Amino acid sequence: MSDIRVLTGPEVAQHASKDDCWIIVHGKVYDVTDFLPEHPGGQAIILKYAGKDATAAYEPIHPPDAITTNLPVEKHLGVVDASTVAKVVKVVTEEEKQRQKYIEARPPLDTIINLHDFENVARKVISEKAWAYYSSASDDEITLRENRMAYQRVWFRPRILRDVTNVDWSTTILGQKSSLPVYISATALGKLGHPEGELCLTRAAQNHGVIQMVATLASCSFDEILDAAKPDQSLFLQLYVNRDREITRKYVQHAEARGVKALFITVDAPQLGRREKDMRMKFVGEEGVAKVQDGQSGIKKDEGVARAISSFIDPSLSWKDIPWFKSITKMPIILKGISTAEDAILAYEAGVQGIVLSNHGGRQLDTARSGLEVLVEVVPALRARGYFPDPNFEIFVDGGVRRASDVLKALALGAKAVGVGRPFLYAFCSYGQEGVEKAIQIFRDEFEMNMRLLGARTIDELVPEMVDASALSSHVVLTPQDNLFHNTYQPLSGAKFQES
């Protein structure tokens, strides 16, 4: 016997106003009237689907359980009889038609030979909205570009005649085996770019012994990702700390119970940076809706995807909170988003197990320095205090890595491993799981060649003497232009004129 209420499409459609708003998600009907003002993404976007099926819009930017955990059970009204729901007729835009053509005409995967290639493909095969969200960085995107350029101010000092028949680039990261000195860094909202979202990363990582850092704001739910992983697969968790610490405590302890191996707390995002490509896209995309709502709801229509869903992040997070994190978990704690030697020292003294020298892919404080440049400041400062090297404190770098040679530079300068975010994201947006596997293969090929040419047979043989980083902190040196990068990089554009 079942007492589940079955509703029809026309019944749901009668509740299509701000004062009485029902929506359908995954075949279930929800009364979201009271939730409207609380929706982190604003009311306008929900009202666009009032009385209708919102699944397609909901799916890419919410974990499947978001609605059930946020809405009291009495607002779960029942299921809808699918045969009675008016099919949402999707107007196929010119953009969408063009996109489908590009998907058909993707370069065969075996013609992809470097990580830049994925970015070029992704830009064409994902929606403009997804591209704007993923590729954007804050303000003038100076740091985004500097992250890449910094690697080109470090030059190799290769050693010769060392019998490099066998080279081995495997390592351990926070005690976990890794086939590469690279981990997949957290990126949010994977389903904006591919229907399987972050699961593409999980499956590829397990096939190749690579560690994935799972994002708090992944499109797939945490448990979906963990269920897709093998029992012996190492995963890390990236954490945005909630204003409600109870939510964070439960989340962290659940992750630990499910076997996550380390907790990376993001410390560089008390507020999200203004990512202008993303903001302009939102402005254009939701303009019609936002106009109706203006002045009624106080919705900021120009926030962009990320900002719209980030209001839960606690800006009051401080050094005083670190003991609390240590009290709720035994996982190693790593602070992600350190940009100075001063904070690296504080982190060490706070007793955490590592730091990520990162500017969040250029998406937070613009003109913050690259992680690589921060590394050459941090290592001597820690060493001077006897804090480096320390097997219980690992230093990571992320941002701008596109080549194994970049990774080797960071390792020679003292990093334990390097985080790679967007390139893996673009790999799965373009080719799904296979794309990620190919990206890993490209890294392998590049490690083999570069380690041979550098004269380093193992990761331990990468020493500071193998690089000349003397120009790293000088921001005015000229280097040859990186054409692959520049040709892919999409310059910021100005405000659009209104169509007459």
Q: In angstroms, how far is CA 114 from the centroid of its own chain?
A: 20
By CB under 6 A, which span of 46-54, 67-75, 304-312, 338-346 interacts with ligand 173? 304-312
240 carries an active-site annotation: yes
Q: From the list 309, 331, 347, 352, which residue makes contact with ligand 173 (rule: CB under 6 A)?
A: 309
By beta-carbon proximity to ligand 173, the closer residue of 153 and 336 is 336
By the rule CB under 6 A, 214 interacts with ligand 173: no
By CB under 6 A, which span of 226-234, 293-301, 302-310, 458-466 interacts with ligand 173? 302-310
Give the tokens for residue 268.
């560089």
By the rule CB under 6 A, 274 interacts with ligand 173: no
> Minimum distance from CB of 379 to ligand 173 (Å)?
26
Catalytic hit among 30, 183, 240, 431 = 240
* Cα-based distances in Å from 115 to 126, 143, 252, 319, 475: 17, 20, 33, 37, 25
Give the tokens for residue 301.
């229509």
By beta-carbon proximity to ligand 173, the closer residue of 310 and 370 is 310
By CB under 6 A, which span of 245-253, 303-311, 412-420, 468-476 interacts with ligand 173? 303-311
By the rule CB under 6 A, 356 interacts with ligand 173: no
Q: Which residues contact 286 (CB under 8 A, 6 or more apart)?
A: 44, 45, 48, 301
Burial class (CB in 10 A: 0-12, 13-18, 19+), 143: buried
**Short-list 238, 200, 63, CA closest to 118:** 200
By beta-carbon proximity to ligand 173, the closer residue of 309 and 454 is 309
Number of residues that bind ligand 173 (CB under 6 A): 9
Catalytic hit among 39, 116, 194, 360 = 360
By the rule CB under 6 A, 279 interacts with ligand 173: no
Q: Which residues contact 443 (CB under 8 A, 6 or more apart)?
A: 180, 182, 404, 407
Q: How many CB atoms lie within 10 A of CB 64?
A: 15
> Minimum distance from CB of 143 to ligand 173 (Å)?
13
Can you tell me the distance from the alpha carbon of 305 to that of 189, in angstroms, rounded to the nearest whole number? 9
268 carries an active-site annotation: yes
Cα-Cα-Cα-Cα dihedral sign, residues 172, 178, 182, 186: negative
194 carries an active-site annotation: no
Can you tell me the distance from the alpha carbon of 302 to that of 41, in angstroms, rounded to the nearest whole number? 11
By the rule CB under 6 A, 405 interacts with ligand 173: no
By the rule CB under 6 A, 363 interacts with ligand 173: yes
By the rule CB under 6 A, 220 interacts with ligand 173: no
> Minimum distance from CB of 269 to ligand 173 (Å)?
6
Catalytic hit among 53, 117, 268, 343 = 268
> Minimum distance from CB of 241 to ligand 173 (Å)?
12
Diameter of the chain measured on Cα atoms: 79
By beta-carbon proximity to ligand 173, the closer residue of 10 and 315 is 315
By beta-carbon proximity to ligand 173, the closer residue of 63 and 181 is 63
By the rule CB under 6 A, 306 interacts with ligand 173: yes
By the rule CB under 6 A, 272 interacts with ligand 173: yes
Q: Residue 186: helix, strand or coil by DSSP?
A: coil
Whether the CB-CB separation of 182 and 423 falls below 8 Å is answered with no
> Minimum distance from CB of 70 to ligand 173 (Å)?
16
> Minimum distance from CB of 173 to ligand 173 (Å)?
21
Preceding omega of 60 cis (within 30 degrees of 0) = no
By the rule CB under 6 A, 360 interacts with ligand 173: yes
CA angle (226 as vertex; 60, 103 as ends), nearest 5: 40
> Minimum distance from CB of 265 to ligand 173 (Å)?
13
Can you tell me the distance from the alpha carbon of 210 to that of 235, in angstroms, rounded to the nearest whole number? 9
By the rule CB under 6 A, 420 interacts with ligand 173: no
CA angle (225 as vertex; 221, 226 as ends), nearest 5: 115
Residue nearest to ligand 173 (CB): 310
Give the tokens for residue 456.
């380093």
Q: From the list 50, 57, 180, 188, which residue makes contact with ligand 173 (rule: CB under 6 A)?
A: 188
Task: Using CB under 6 A, list all residues that contact ligand 173.
Answer: 188, 217, 269, 272, 306, 309-310, 360, 363
Q: Which residues are tagged catalytic?
A: 240, 268, 360
